[in-house]
């Protein structure tokens, strides 16, 4: 993974390109049914799950990507329960830096195992690729929901393990410690959900 100092160096040496990533990303409009009027951009890899081309000793699910390749999915402890509870509070947009051919079946697997329907999917094709740093920026500021700016909704949060890959107000960013298999006692998502519920309760007073 690229270091923070390297990110700063890349930004300094490529200021013009970096500014393009921030300011000139094409607008993204998501047409979706709004239930709560509160939006959550939810990451997949290392936030909810871990994917690999070969099975691990940790419990995993075989998944066929849309391009015909088979990969194996390990769910973070509490991931499915986290999604269930989050879906009762927010309209969820899954936004992953993975390709659409990977993200779509991954979301279908989550929906099948959790029994809930996620609102919408955004993928690598909806990011701004910043190749000097090896990043795909998710520019939250360029997203509208049903042609309505996010500022018009009651609340917007971003749940992600990669601060550097998200262009957003950090006050809306809920950072999740990256997860890999074998951390079977991981309770981060349980803690994050407790924080979200407390935050939601305070905002609704």
Residue of 95, 115, 87, 113 whose CA lies nearest to 159: 95
Q: What is the mean pLDDT of the chain?
A: 85
**Count of domains for the chain:** 1
**Of the listed ranges 15-19, 93-97, 139-143, 179-183, the one predicted with least confidence:** 15-19
Predicted local distance difference test score (pLDDT) of residue 184: 82
- Decide: 100 and 124 in contact? Cβ < 8 Å: yes
Predicted local distance difference test score (pLDDT) of residue 1: 39
Specify the CATH number for the domain of residue 47: 3.40.50.1000
**What is the spatial distance between Cα 157 and Cα 43, in angstroms, rounded to a whole number?**
11
Over the stretch 77-116, which tens digit does the pLDDT of each residue have?
Answer: 999 999 999 999 999 999 999 999 999 999 999 999 999 9
Over the stretch 17-44, which tens digit does the pLDDT of each residue have?
Answer: 555 555 556 788 999 989 999 999 999 9
Q: How confident is the model at residue 151 (pLDDT cuts 50, 70, 90)?
A: confident
Residue 5 in this model has a pLDDT that exceeds 50: no
Predicted local distance difference test score (pLDDT) of residue 4: 45
**Of the listed ranges 43-52, 101-110, 156-165, the one predicted with least confidence:** 156-165
Predicted local distance difference test score (pLDDT) of residue 12: 40
What range defines the domain where residue 167 resides? 4-203
Cα radius of gyration rounded to whole Å, the chain: 17
Predicted local distance difference test score (pLDDT) of residue 25: 62
Predicted local distance difference test score (pLDDT) of residue 156: 92
Our measurement of the distance from residue 183's CA atom to the centroid of its chain's CA atoms, rounded to an integer in Å, reads 20
**Of the listed ranges 24-28, 97-101, 134-138, 184-188, the one predicted with least confidence:** 24-28
Residue 2 in this model has a pLDDT that exceeds 50: no
Predicted local distance difference test score (pLDDT) of residue 20: 56
- Decide: 129 and 145 in contact? Cβ < 8 Å: no
- Which residues, in sequence order, are CB contacts of 102 under 8 Å at separation 6+? 51, 65, 66, 71, 96, 123
């Amino acid at each position: 993974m690229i270091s923070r100092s390297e990110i700063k160096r890349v930004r300094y040496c490529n200021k013009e390109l970096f500014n393009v990533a921030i300011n000139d990303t094409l607008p993204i409009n998501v047409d979706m049914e709004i239930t709560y009027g509160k939006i959550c951009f939810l990451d997949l890899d290392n936030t909810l799950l871990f994917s690999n081309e070969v099975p691990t000793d940790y419990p995993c699910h075989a998944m066929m990507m849309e391009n015909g390749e088979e990969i194996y999915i390990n769910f973070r402890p509490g991931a499915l329960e986290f999604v269930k509870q989050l879906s009762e509070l927010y309209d969820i947009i899954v936004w992953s830096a993975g390709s659409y051919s990977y993200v779509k079946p991954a979301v279908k697997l989550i929906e099948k195992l959790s029994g809930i329907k996620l609102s919408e999917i955004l993928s690598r094709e909806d990011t701004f690729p910043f190749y000097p740093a090896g990043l795909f920026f998710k520019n939250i500021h360029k997203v509208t929901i049903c042609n309505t700016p996010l500022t018009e909704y009651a609340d917007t949060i971003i749940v992600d393990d990669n601060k550097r890959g998200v262009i957003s107000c950090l006050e809306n960013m809920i950072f999740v410690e990256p997860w890999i298999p074998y951390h079977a006692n991981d309770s981060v998502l349980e803690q994050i959900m407790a924080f979200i519920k407390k935050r939601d309760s305070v905002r609704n007073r």
